[in-house]
A and B are shown apart, each in its own frame.
Chain A
Amino acid sequence: MNDTRLKILTFIEKNSRVDLKELAVVLGMEEDMVSKEIKDMENEGIICGFHTIIDWDKLAAEKVTAMIEVRVTPQRGKGFDDIAERIYKYPEVTSVYLMSGSFDLMVMLEGKTLKEVSTFVTEKLATLETVINTQTNFVLKKYKDHGTVLTKKYEDNRMPIVP
């Protein structure tokens, strides 16, 4: 893989707010090149978006996350793509993955209440004709998300001056 791209991506994956000038400085690259690579990667669909990691629990916001294991019957000639698309089009669905193992699709869902999520599953998801069955798992606590620990803050425990 292109080393320049790898270096840029590795950095901005953890810190997408860095400005171009600083990014160029820390990576030891020309600003123009960094800017061009990022644009190219956006056009090529390598960089797909920028998100913020939020611990909604700390805001006491009403938010329920569920991970739903879905077994489906794949369709001839189309495999799982059509059914996946039908599911991911719902805005409350945040992720859809095709899985190996004992079920086929992992659907992640965000809703305001347990009831809202279960209504979605029973009325929208389970009623799709290719869906064989579903198993809904509610998230109770998020410890770590996207490589970031949510439950603890970094503390510098070193002595302030060390030779």
Chain B
Amino acid sequence: MSYVARQVENMKPSGIRKFFDIVSEMEDAISLGVGEPDFDTPWHIRDEGIYSLEKGRTFYTSNSGLMELRKEICNYLKRRFDVSYEPAKEVLVTVGGSEAIDVGLRAVINPGEGEEVLIPQPSYVSYEPCAVLAGAKPVIIQLCNENQFRLTKQELLDAVTDKTKVLILPFPNNPTGAVLTEQDLRDIAEVCIERDILVMSDEIYAELTYDRDHVSIASIPGMKERTILINGFSKSYAMTGWRLGYACGPEEIISQMMKIHQYAIMCAPTTSQYAAVEALKNGDDDVVKMREAYNQRRRFLLNAFKEMDLPCFEPFGAFYVFPCIKKYGMTSEEFATEFLKQEKVAVVPGTAFGDSGEGFIRISYAYSIENLKIAIAKLKDFVGRLQK
């Protein structure tokens, strides 16, 4: 008899594992496959973490997180996105945004009752497995290139059933870089209010939008009471390794999420929490600088694609571009594999983020322009050969 649980055994391993193994073996490979900032955490934030260690702040914090941090999170969300939360009851500090996704779904799903979680794809790899583990039925919404991978009202309406409980809203989006407009959000909000759907809005890339500001769905009237807002420090402050995120939402839900978090995790890392206070208090300028750098690279890549005639919609968020490689008559995986073999450059096939990523590749621009230049020259050579 196998000791392993069936639902875990049936879970697909992450589609990028294979590439990871090849790239790791390959000497002098260039990677455009990294989903984290290339910047170091700004020094004043690291320094605050170090200082907290020197002061001996090495104990657990309250389960929900340091009160000072929760207050700063609420100030920040009010200041940047005009949403108000109560630090004592409506905020939970988590181990990255990832934990918030897991705990949030487990707190609202009745396992085995066929409750449906709508997951627009292509999107981050963990929503579907987390929904399955929580005992929900994941329902995939296939986003498409024609809509610049935005979620439209019609696509949402087509997917909603009487069993729909949660909509995951992953914008700005990894891997496509898509963002939603305020009008998109209003349309989605209308459906969610009408059909009484809870929204889990993963806004981890909220600070990384270009030539336009991010709008949180929680700021749309009637939505705050039906939204779990997820955000964190990884992308905006280049703090991936600190593992710190948060969830905000109605007290009714946050208090239940807190119970799971309390038993599974106890509390988020203390050092990271002290550093995060500093990030929120004094990190606005860092964010502006990093955003500008990403935007320069984004423009550089889009222009390079245009020059090599590689179709790509203009994405306004995160640090990814999602060019279409269909015209070369290869699958995403074939393209990525061949590109890696021939040019030693790693990109991630769009299918790693869902079936609707077929025909696309994800290219990260969390690299310096100098590095991008080298990689793009190789891409140009590669597609040049394919075209012949």
Contacts and interface: CB of A to CB of B under 8 A. Distances in A.
Contacts of B348: 161, 163
Interface residues of A, number: 15
Contact of B346 (A10, A26, A160): A160
Contacts of B31: 160-161
Contact of A160 (B34, B124, B211, B299): B34
A85 interface: no
Contacts of B174: 163
Interface stretch (B17-25, B51-59, B146-154): B17-25
A82 B38 CA distance: 48
A158 B36 contact: yes
A160 B297 contact: no
A49 interface: no
A140 interface: no
A56 interface: no
Contacts of B126: 163
Interface string B16-48: 100110011000010101111010000000000
Given A26-B297, A27-B296, A160 B303 contact: no
Interface centre among A158, A160, A163 (most CB of B within 10 A): A163
Contact of B35 (A10, A26, A27, A162): A162
B98 to A, nearest CB: 10
Nearest to B348: A161
A18 to B, nearest CB: 9
Interface residues of B, number: 30
Contacts of A7: 292
B300 A161 contact: no
B36 A162 contact: yes
B101 interface: no
Contacts of A25: 299-300, 303
A161 B296 contact: no
Contact of B33 (A22, A28, A161): A161
A163 B125 contact: yes
A163 B14 contact: yes
A159 interface: yes
Nearest to A11: B296
B369 to A, nearest CB: 7
A160 B35 CA distance: 9
Contacts of B34: 158-162
Instruction: Return the 7 tightest CB-CB contacts between A and B, nearest first.
Output: A26-B296, A160-B31, A161-B33, A162-B35, A160-B23, A161-B20, A25-B303
Given A27-B296, A27-B299, A163-B14, 11 more contacts: A22-B300, A28-B211, A160-B23, A161-B19, A161-B20, A161-B346, A161-B348, A163-B35, A163-B174, A163-B352, A163-B353
